[in-house]
Amino acid sequence: MMKTVFKRTPTLKDCPTHYCPGCGHGIAHRLIAEIIDELDIRDRTIGIAPVGCAVLAYDYLDVDMVEVAHGRPPAVATGMKRTNPDKIIFSYQGDGDLASIGAAEILHAGHRGEQITVVFINNAVYGMTGGQMAPTTMLDQVTATTPKGRSAAEQGYPLQVSELLATLPGTIYIERCALSSVAQIRKTKKAIKHAFDLQLEGADGMSMVEVLSPCPTYWRMSPTKAMEWLENNMTKVFPLGRLKG
Amino acid sequence: MCGNEALAESAIIAGCDAYFGYPITPQNEVPAYMSRRMPEEGRVFVQSESELAAINMVFGASATGKRAMTSSSSPGISLMQEGISYLSGAELPAVVVNVMRGGPGLGNIAPSQADYFQATRGGGHGDYRTIVLGPSSVQELVDCMPLAFDLADQYRMTVMVLADGILGQMMEPVVLEKKKGRELPPKDWALTGAAGRKQNIVRSLWLPEGALEELNNKLLDKYKQVEKNEVLCEEYEVDDADIVVVAYGVAARIVRGAVSRAREEGIKAGWIRPITLWPFPTGQISRAADEFRIFLVVEMSNGQMVEDVRLAVTGKAPVLFYGRPGGGVPTVDEILDQIRQLTLRPKT
Ligand SMILES: Cc1ncc(C[n+]2csc(CCOP(=O)(O)OP(=O)(O)O)c2C)c(N)n1
């Protein structure tokens, strides 16, 4: 007798992926799709895709979605949620999008306590444009624009956005997770689900889950090596766990 | 009520669901008024952290099918250009009010018409158009708002209301009433949660070969419809005129005074006042140029709309220019002097 032990969740579309082998975006998409289906909120959810490798997130997630200018998802989310308090609004953003060009927008959405859910994918580089330095790039990490490795003196230290946002009264839940192992992926799913739950309950403020995510292509490593590097190096600068809420 | 407050109340009557904005002179009365009135109506007011954020909040509200607007003045409108380009690519309706001030840079807070190029040429990147309305009285500013929302919804475009510091601050009696709007197409593209239907996507990225070209051509067809159907323009005693003065907005009010005085002096003068700056009344001006007469364009800038007048006249008649930039406002006497000189009438 055959038994189904794993199947695609309906909100995840059945299509080939454009992501590189070992990229974390595909895993994060699946977690979001599963959560939307488990919470049964597909018919009231609106997602916001960033500019970055995940710009085509709507090709994978079968919910109403918008694609917006680089870094502006929290402002767009504000416009959506304020005019549609009954809808569930989430933004999905990379570290260039959220921590660099959109730093003002995320800070002020958090500051105003917008009732939105933010999924923040930190892969320590700008993936889409060819692996340049991000604010979250590690010290000594070689990227397309730090050929000698990032130096604190010249480019500053990796920016810890979650710690920063956790200081704001307007944020209610901030957690940092990782996609480095099955156990960590499970924890990530739990965290993102909690962030959606809070919005469903009408909790008064912004929730964000930072997800440390591998980019084997621009870390110039095999997918397995990338997972190890993430776990051994990134988590030292970006410690996992609940920062708030 | 000053012009700024009147336009805000008119937007509320027109069914504006949400206002997002960042303070800047000379339009601060708009957010102040909205911050009080929108909550009274159970609608949305947010003071954004920047104009970048304001226009993207408009983007978000509009993507869900709501009527949304923002207002600002020149430096703030420059910051909104990114958002206007994205709104245009995504074909989202939006209403943006620019109460212009002097520039470039921080310029000054005096009335100005220096943002004509930016407004009518699309200050953002890419191949797009925005509808631009140039009212010349507080009543017309009031009447522009429901029209702006209707045009935005009908064509899924950004409509910019181009006012200036004088109109924004001016007190004039106005009639504020709800008028029947246009029949509008349903917003079946809006993001409302995919309940009982397929996913809706609002986007401006089109990577496959030919896909963006297709979108641009679709936009072009739409823009042609707007050019065909939506031109607004007023004219006065053009038929027998030896000289036609072309001006919009507040400058047109001053021109009106100068032309009346010229007529009193026996000079055959008339005026044309474009109300839509895009689509521009090219046809009306071209027709006026079929008979030989002099065109004088008056602007509160060093000459921007004059280029559209030249394009309309296509060399059939001389097009001259008189302008006061940097917050300077031309007087009736200054314009009358120009008219006299151009028609070879010595000062009386
Ligand atoms: C205004 C603007 N500046 C720059 C770019 C180019 N750009 C596209 S994606 C990107 C960085 C994306 O990096 P990140 O947010 O970390 O996402 P990832 O691709 O790594 O998932 C940049 C700089 C742009 N599209 N728009």
**CB < 8 Å to A100, chain B:** none
Report the domain count for chain A.
1
Backbone phi, psi, residue B43, to 5°: -115, -175
Alpha carbon distance B119, B20 (integer Å): 20
pLDDT value at residue A244: 98
How is chain B split into domains, by residue range?
3-229, 233-343
**Does residue A127 have its Cβ closer than 6 Å to ligand 1?**
yes
What percent of chain B is predicted at pLDDT more than 90?
A: 97
A82 lies within 8 A of chain B by CB: yes
User: Is residue A8 in a domain?
Assistant: no
**Side-chain half-sphere exposure of A23, counting CA atoms within 13 A:** 19
**Does residue A53 have its Cβ closer than 6 Å to ligand 1?**
yes
Q: B219-223, long-range: CB within 8 Å, 24+ apart, which pairs?
A: B219/B88, B219/B91, B219/B127, B219/B128, B219/B129, B220/B127, B222/B155, B222/B156, B222/B157, B223/B129
What pLDDT, in 10s, does the model give residues B207-247?
999 999 999 999 999 999 999 999 999 999 999 999 999 99
* pLDDT higher than threshold 60 for residue B348: no
pLDDT value at residue B110: 95
Q: Which of B17, B22, B49 best probes binding to A when mutated, by most A CB atoms within 10 angstroms?
A: B49
CB contact under 8 A, A66 and B191: yes
pLDDT value at residue B87: 98
* CA A46 to ligand 1 center in whole angstroms: 22
CB contact under 8 A, A82 and B46: yes
* CA B85 to ligand 1 center in whole angstroms: 17
Alpha carbon distance A12, B177 (integer Å): 49
Farthest-apart Cα atoms in chain B, separation: 77
CB contact under 8 A, A64 and B62: no
Question: What are the per-10-residue average pLDDT scores of chain A (245 residues)?
Answer: 91 96 98 98 98 97 98 98 98 98 98 98 98 98 98 98 98 98 98 98 98 98 97 98 97
Task: Average the pLDDT over B127-156 and give the result.
Answer: 98
Report ipTM for this prediction.
Answer: 0.97
> What is the band of B26 on the pLDDT scale with cuts at 50, 70, 90?
very high
**Nearest ligand 1 atom to alpha carbon A25:** 21
**CB < 8 Å to B20, chain A:** 79
CB contact under 8 A, A76 and B90: no
Instruction: Return the CATH number at A107.
Output: 3.40.50.970
Q: What helix, strand, coil percent values describe chain B, rounded to 5?
A: 40, 20, 40
User: Is residue A205 in a domain?
Assistant: yes
* pLDDT higher than threshold 90 for residue B122: no
What pLDDT, in 10s, does the model give residues B317-329?
999 999 999 999 9
CB contact under 8 A, B83 and A69: yes
In contact, A12 and A62? CB cutoff 8 Å:
yes
A104 lies within 8 A of chain B by CB: yes
Mutate to test the pocket of ligand 1, among A18, A55, A97 (most ligand atoms within 8 A of CB): A97
**CB < 8 Å to B204, chain A:** 67
Would you list the DSSP string of A111-141? HHT---EEEEEE-SEETTTTSEE-TTPPTT-
**CB < 8 Å to B17, chain A:** 83
What pLDDT, in 10s, does the model give residues B84-114?
999 999 999 999 999 999 999 999 999 999 9
* CA A57 to ligand 1 center in whole angstroms: 14
**Residues 39 through 98 of chain B touching chain A, CB cutoff 8 Å:** 44, 46, 48-50, 52-54, 56-64, 66, 68, 82-83, 86, 90
Q: What helix, strand, coil percent values describe chain A, rounded to 5?
A: 40, 20, 40
pLDDT value at residue A108: 98
**Does residue A23 have its Cβ closer than 6 Å to ligand 1?**
no
Mutate to test the pocket of ligand 1, among A19, A123, A129, A143 (most ligand atoms within 8 A of CB): A129
Task: Average the pLDDT over B147-173 and give the result.
Answer: 96
**Nearest ligand 1 atom to alpha carbon A121:** 21
B3-229 has which CATH code?
3.40.50.970
pLDDT value at residue B170: 94
User: Is residue A3 in a domain?
Assistant: no
A93, two tokens: 């953003």
**Residues 42 through 81 of chain A touching chain B, CB cutoff 8 Å:** 42-46, 48, 55-56, 58, 62-69, 72, 75-80
Per the structure, the complete domain to which residue A71 belongs is given by: 25-244
Q: Whose CA is nearest to atom 12 of ligand 1?
A: A52
> What is the band of B345 on the pLDDT scale with cuts at 50, 70, 90?
confident
User: Is residue A4 in a domain?
Assistant: no
Consecutive H or E run containing B122:
none
* CA A74 to ligand 1 center in whole angstroms: 16
Q: Is the model's pTM score more than 0.90?
A: yes
| Mean confidence (pLDDT) of chain B | 97
Q: Does domain B233-343 have CATH number 3.40.50.150?
A: no
User: Is residue A18 in a domain?
Assistant: no
* Residue B213 burial (CB count, 10 A): 11
Consecutive H or E run containing B21:
strand B18-21
**Nearest ligand 1 atom to alpha carbon A128:** 19
**Side-chain half-sphere exposure of A242, counting CA atoms within 13 A:** 11
